[in-house]
Structure 1
Amino acid sequence: MTAQSKLTVLKFGSSVLRSEEDLPRAVHEIYRHWRRGERVLVVVSAFGDTTDRLFSHADSYYGPPEPSALAALLATGEATTAALLSLALDRAGLPVRVLAPEQAGLLTCGERLDAELIAVNILRLNDELRRAVVVLPGFVGRDETGGTTLLGRGGSDFTALYLAHQLGGHCVLVKDVDGFYTEDPMRAGACADRYESVSWETAYRVGGALVQPKAIRFAEARGLHFTIAAAGAHIGTEVGPGPDRLAPPRNAAAPLNVALIGCGTVGGGVYQRLAALPEFFNVTGVATRNPDRAVNAGVPAHLLTNDSATLIAQPCDVIVELIGGTEVASELLTDALRLGRHVVSANKALMASAGPTLERLAAECGVSLRYSAAVGGAMPALEAVSRAAISSPLRAISGVLNGTTNFILDQLADGGDFADAVRGAQAAGFAEADPRLDLNGTDAAQKLIILARAAFDVDLSLADIAREGIEGIDAGRVRRALDEGQRIRLVAECWRTMRGVEARVAPVALDWNHPLASTSGVENCLLIEPENGESLLISGKGAGRWPTSEAALADLFDLWRDHTSGRAGKPSQALEELAA
């Protein structure tokens, strides 16, 4: 990310994060903003009724609890949520940094249990936000002596709005409802209308149970606009100077009917997330050659079939293809598009070789073909390159796009043997049983073809890319580079020349301070260089069950939002907004 990237402050309260089981929902919402190129700062409350339970625990000792001890105890709730959410984000493949209140410089004054925020370390936060999603516990600060202070009941709202004001970002308070209503929409018999926008005064009057009143008054005093929304939704209530405006009536959004083709490591992860999100998605069937593996992933027997073609022919909205390969997958996706199904795929080989053909067919049929998961896993490479190319002509893109080679090269640098390093990568789950496409550079070249298409509007083939893998690389060369302050990485790069666009994949000795040199394990990294302006560096885990699943889920969520807003089959709203 760059310092100019939009900053979004997302706050997740205890009504949204009721327990650890809700963490993946927060991850999906965070990833939604992060893959749009935004810097993301996350503020969290304690899980569910944790604060109440901790207060009761303290109260059980004797009389009114001593304020400093009570503050220290209650603060553990937010700290636990922040740490566990950070672990969930890391598992999903996002770069993440969790900070304690003192690390963020959150200074308070006033009463220990109902303090006011007066300062924050803006330089530290901006520096961290350039590299990672930052997670902070809300509700908690430090006084001038370093003692723990609390911001009053519902104080995480105050934390989020204060940070948005200080850092110049937009705050979204993520709640269990999609905005302010004229009355409680959860109450039996309620006939509630949602506000599209409200004034701070109206928010203070009707939203006392939804947003901390002190936080609303803080926003009003500083002219700070903010949004109330539900996770995953494309609507919400904008809070600002007013006027109050009711949203037009709308029918409840129906879930997308989704059929899965393939239920291996990634497919099983995608199924589990879809099954946990019934308000968004309904799985109509799962085609697999290994039913036992699908059952182990939780797929009920009545959804299973070994006939992909028949499953595609049955009514559904979206086909998710996770089988890999080109010939069979191409036939299946061609049939799906012709039948009017949207398609989400993680198939880099197919998208590299037949992406333009399938995209033209999708356009002719009025449906969408989305394949973010085919390049970079959770690293939003395709989205970042597409946005950058819309903003300005690009000069070059370069990246480390294959995690298997990272692992092997690091093993060689540490004195290992090539064959042992390959076996180690396989044992760690970083390499396939047949790793040749990783080792000879084909995997990275296929990803580069897809990215070059988005960057330069060219359709390269594998034959157009000068390709040298790491098969047979001299281990001594790798170790010598390390001794000379360099690190060898398999770099895929594409650049514009007077003759057109050139591309190559090859091992390159990078200085330690080069932005691509720090990758390790399954981490991918991409450097996007425009002809004018600041270069953009993004990173994330590029392989594995959860990073790939997260990217596929993000495509599905985008489809759901487009479907409910009547945009299905059209260019993504995020790209259209950027182009405008």
Structure 2
Amino acid sequence: MSPLDLIDRPASARLRVADKPAPAAEVVVLKFGSSVLRGVEDAPRVASEIYRHVREGRRVVAVVSALAGETDRRLAEARGLGLAHDNDLLPAYVLGGEEKAAGLLAIACDRIGLDVEALGVRELGLKAVGAAEHARPVGVEGGRLAEALARREVVIAPGFGAVRPCGRLALLGRGGTDLTAVVIASALGLDHVRLVKDVDGLFDRDPNGADPAALRFQACDWATAKRVGGRLVQADALELAQAEGLEIVVSALGSSGGTRIGARLEAPVAPLEDRPVRVAIAGCGVVGGGLYARLSADPRFQVVGVLVRDPARPRDVAVDPALLTTRADDLLAREPEIVLEALSDGRAGHDLIVKALERGLRVASANKQAISLDPAGLQALAERSGARLAYSAAVGGGVAMIETLRKAREAGPIAGFEAVLNGTVNFMLDRLDQGAPFDQALAEARAAGFAEEDPSADLEGHDSAAKVRLLAYEAFGRLPEHLPLDALNAASPPREAGVRQIGACRSIGGVLGAEVRLKPVEEPLFLALHGERNALRVVGADGRVWTCKGRGAGRHATCESVLADLHDLVAA
């Protein structure tokens, strides 16, 4: 029997016979105040922080304050109309700022491919007693939060507000979003909550003040936190966390450290001196241009060069001409610490990665054709030279497919996987299902930024084949020898509804059977996706199943995955 015989059988017979759920994901509560979510322009960086936790296998509850100045503006407007202090009508108007921020952040998370839901103050179900403007929380009622966490990767919740027994809304006092985060973390049975601030931890004096010798606590006890915390952490939140035995971690965006507030005190130390990380970008198209736009506006990084074919070509991102170069050797001669490779050509990308790794440079690549040529050889070269290679964005855009496969493999041997891997083809198949002609579906995919000018790699299955090869390498430590493909073209479009391009690989008797086929999705319906979304389903040899899904194409989703790899390379 051919290894592909089992792959051609219905999915219900193929992979679902002994399905068992994978272990439940860890949950983390993150709080973002107006010092980091000041305006709409900050939403992408906050979404990046959330994405980083999701791709590490966590589900996230993100608690947000109103955007900077929004609460004061709403209070002033209400007072200007003569509304008295402690008026029952005031909280409902003021909390519209928190709900607006939650909605905006949810949109930013969706743009990069996260499976997200935003709750309102009443939907969240936080209960409180006391005055309308400074109530005391008493817990979280109702199952809406738990239900949302069960079906979503990310739940965005507004802070600062609660519902009183009379049914009216109440405020939790200045800094009340800290308190909301503590209450939620306690209700979920967590051991800590992370408050993301504009400083990386708790200091013995104001680190943004005139004294440059401020020292940071790695661990801080409750008494010291109450003494030096000032306005950084709400006093009510500290009191409740101490009473509940819940540690508070205070950190900045992108930080893995910060200060852990709890029972233990360590002497504060001088923080490490920050300097921008020198980064080179190879390619300035959909992905490379997006990376340049993000990194050139981020003070944590310094872009030292951008490799392009034609410096004179018009681009949708304005790049400093002095950074442009057409030679890989010149790019590497600018002494970057990390190279972000996003070239459209597989061989050119592979050659650049080899040169960078030989120099001991860290590399993050979004180029599935380049990596899939010889993933084992590239990893071996990185180990020999003391470098590191990351390529999460090469498969699935913003979907954490490689991380999901690695987690499954850590749990035991893999039986197989199946996936929707090409956002361009999935988008077009969706439009064809809706009655659009082939040429129109392709034009719309180009207009949406999913299809390249030459879409042959997508339509002929080569893009998905490269991703299947990479996933097979992650799952089984080797590449399949044969990988038959189905092509999508105008001459023979699918005749059935619900057809999707499915990439699959399964180990049968030690032989890898792999393919990329156009076929109707019957089971699992998890793969019956719409638009540019991708999904992966991994089945372990013991029947356990791991899944992930999200946006698999487009600038924002793919850039987010590269940036997450960049963060990991910096932190290592």
- Both structures adopt the same fold (TM-score exceeding 0.5): yes
> What's 1:208 paired with?
230
CA distance in 2 between counterparts of 1:177 and 1:241 reads 22
Contact (CA 8 Å) 1:313, 1:339: kept in 2 or not? Answer: no
Match runs of 1:157-236 below 5 Å: 157-169=178-190, 170-236=192-258
Deviations 1:255-301 (A, max 9, x none): 210111111121111011111211x2111111223435677513222
Percent of aligned pairs sharing the same letter: 39
Contact (CA 8 Å) 2:418, 2:536: kept in 1 or not? Answer: yes
Residue 142 of structure 1 aligns with an amino acid whose one-letter code is: V
The CA deviation at 1:368 is 0.9
The CA deviation at 1:405 is 2.2
> What's 2:435 paired with?
415
- Cα pair distance change 1:557/1:122, threshold 3 Å: farther
The CA deviation at 1:308 is 2.7
Secondary structure in 2 matching 1:171: strand
> What's 1:551 paired with?
561
Structure 2: unaligned runs, 5 residues or longer? 1-20
> What's 2:538 paired with?
528
Moved more, 434-443 or 26-35: 434-443
Secondary structure in 2 matching 1:331: helix
Contact (CA 8 Å) 2:204, 2:268: kept in 1 or not? Answer: no
Q: Which has the higher contact order (CA 8 A, sep 6+)?
A: 2
Secondary structure in 1 matching 2:335: coil
Secondary structure in 1 matching 2:428: helix
Match runs of 1:269-418 below 5 Å: 269-278=290-299, 280-292=300-312, 296-418=316-438
- Cα pair distance change 1:63/1:441, threshold 3 Å: closer
Q: In the alignment, is residue 451 of structure 1 matched against residue 471 of structure 2?
A: yes
> What's 2:266 paired with?
245
CA distance in 2 between counterparts of 1:509 and 1:100 reads 38
Contact (CA 8 Å) 2:31, 2:63: kept in 1 or not? Answer: yes
> What's 2:128 paired with?
108
- Cα pair distance change 1:506/1:67, threshold 3 Å: same
CA distance in 1 between counterparts of 2:512 and 2:26 reads 31
Moved more, 165-174 or 138-147: 138-147
- Cα pair distance change 1:56/1:158, threshold 3 Å: same
- Cα pair distance change 1:36/1:476, threshold 3 Å: closer
> What's 2:3 paired with?
none
Match runs of 1:390-539 below 5 Å: 390-461=410-481, 464-471=482-489, 477-479=495-497, 487-511=498-522, 514-517=525-528, 519-532=529-542, 534-539=544-549
CA distance in 1 between counterparts of 2:542 and 2:176 reads 43
Moved more, 150-159 or 402-411: 402-411
CA distance in 2 between counterparts of 1:292 and 1:78 reads 45
Match runs of 1:31-70 below 5 Å: 31-62=51-82, 64-65=84-85, 67-70=87-90
Aligned counterpart in structure 1 of residue 282 of structure 2, from 257, 261, 272: 261
- Cα pair distance change 1:262/1:57, threshold 3 Å: same
The CA deviation at 1:345 is 1.1
Structure 1: unaligned runs, 5 residues or longer? 480-486, 563-580
Q: In the alignment, is residue 152 of structure 1 matched against residue 173 of structure 2?
A: yes
The CA deviation at 1:389 is 0.8
Secondary structure in 1 matching 2:484: strand
CA distance in 2 between counterparts of 1:470 and 1:168 reads 49
CA distance in 2 between counterparts of 1:429 and 1:77 reads 33
CA distance in 2 between counterparts of 1:333 and 1:228 reads 37
CA distance in 2 between counterparts of 1:388 and 1:122 reads 33
Aligned length: 550
- Cα pair distance change 1:284/1:476, threshold 3 Å: closer
- Cα pair distance change 1:451/1:156, threshold 3 Å: same
Residue 213 of structure 2 aligns with an amino acid whose one-letter code is: C
The CA deviation at 1:471 is 3.8
> What's 1:572 paired with?
none
CA distance in 1 between counterparts of 2:47 and 2:109 reads 6
Contact (CA 8 Å) 1:399, 1:525: kept in 2 or not? Answer: yes
Deviations 1:147-174 (A, max 9, x none): 2211111110111111111112341100
Moved more, 141-150 or 167-176: 141-150
CA distance in 1 between counterparts of 2:494 and 2:279 reads 51
CA distance in 1 between counterparts of 2:97 and 2:531 reads 32
Deviations 1:200-219 (A, max 9, x none): 23222221311111111111
Deviations 1:111-160 (A, max 9, x none): 22112233435643233224231111111122334322111111101111
> What's 1:541 paired with?
551
Contact (CA 8 Å) 1:7, 1:168: kept in 2 or not? Answer: no
> What's 1:577 paired with?
none
CA distance in 2 between counterparts of 1:190 and 1:333 reads 41
> What's 1:132 paired with?
153
> What's 2:4 paired with?
none
- Cα pair distance change 1:313/1:195, threshold 3 Å: same
Deviations 1:368-404 (A, max 9, x none): 1111111111101111111221122222211111122
Contact (CA 8 Å) 1:413, 1:475: kept in 2 or not? Answer: no
CA distance in 1 between counterparts of 2:381 and 2:285 reads 28
Contact (CA 8 Å) 2:215, 2:271: kept in 1 or not? Answer: no
Contact (CA 8 Å) 1:495, 1:503: kept in 2 or not? Answer: yes
CA distance in 1 between counterparts of 2:430 and 2:380 reads 42
Deviations 1:339-366 (A, max 9, x none): 2221111110111112222221111111
The CA deviation at 1:367 is 0.6
CA distance in 1 between counterparts of 2:111 and 2:246 reads 34
Secondary structure in 2 matching 1:540: strand
CA distance in 1 between counterparts of 2:418 and 2:430 reads 20
Contact (CA 8 Å) 1:263, 1:294: kept in 2 or not? Answer: no
